[in-house]
Structure 1
Amino acid sequence: MNELLSKKEVKILLSDHSGWTYNGNRIKREVLFEHYMDSIEFVNSLAIKAENLDHHPNLSIGYCNIIVELTSHDLGGVTVDCLELVKYIELLISGLYKKC
């Protein structure tokens, strides 16, 4: 079951993942890529994982960057599923991340 995390829990869990910001009801990260198609590959991989979790991020697609925002639309804050997506995103970044 997806459950809302406390501010303290979110901050502790994000301390292991640099680049993420937390504003109280959502977490956010910008990911930069060398090529546009790398960013699309990232989005496609993330979309499959999000669909399998039934937990969908807000995504902004730029030329060489993606902004990912995670929150629970149902619960109104950061949840266990958000943190699962953070971990998955970090795995994707470790294989795809390149400065634009």
Structure 2
Amino acid sequence: MSGNIASAADLRTLHCAHATVQLDAGEAAALAALLDGWTIEGGRLVRRFGFANYYETMAFVNALAYIAHNEDHHPELVVGYKTCEVRYDTHSVKGLSLNDFICAAKADALLRP
């Protein structure tokens, strides 16, 4: 599955597919290793983002909502004043799919210059 994906930049060029399959633990771990700050917790891909204030938090949440809409792949979000926890999994495959890692890489790109 991840044979041609060597970096987070590679993931950012892809788009989510409606027909997707569950990754095995090795494939998921290999893809998670390409992303900074993301961990696999309880079968989900998770990252906690910190911000300077509420405005920055909400700007990130709104940009992430735009990505989710375009990719038709929606994370679970826990939003606080200066934090946002993002959790991805693919309900249709009851686990992690490539779509989760594509969206995680695109979320990270929101914070890179």
Please indicate, yes or no, whether the TM-score normalized by the shorter chain is above 0.5: yes
The CA RMSD measured in Å over matched residues stands at 1.2
1:17 aligns with one of 31, 35, 42: 35
* Cα separation, partners in 2 of 1:61 and 1:24, compared to 1, 3 Å: closer
Which ranges of structure 1 fall in alignment gaps of 5 or more residues? 96-100
Moved over 2 A (4+): none
Give distance in 2, aligned partners of 1:92 and 1:2.
25
Alignment of 1:61 onto 2:90: no
Q: Deviations over 1:20-71 (max 9, x none)?
A: 1103521111000011111111111111111121111000000100000000
Give distance in 1, aligned partners of 2:27 and 2:70.
24
Give the paired residue count.
Answer: 95
Q: Which residue of 1 aligns with 2:110?
A: 92
Percent identity of equivalent pairs: 31
Give distance in 1, aligned partners of 2:30 and 2:105.
14
Q: Deviations over 1:61-91 (max 9, x none)?
A: 0010000000012211111110110110110
Q: Which residue of 1 aligns with 2:3?
A: none
Which ranges of structure 2 fall in alignment gaps of 5 or more residues? 1-18
- What secondary structure sits across from 1:40 in the alignment? helix
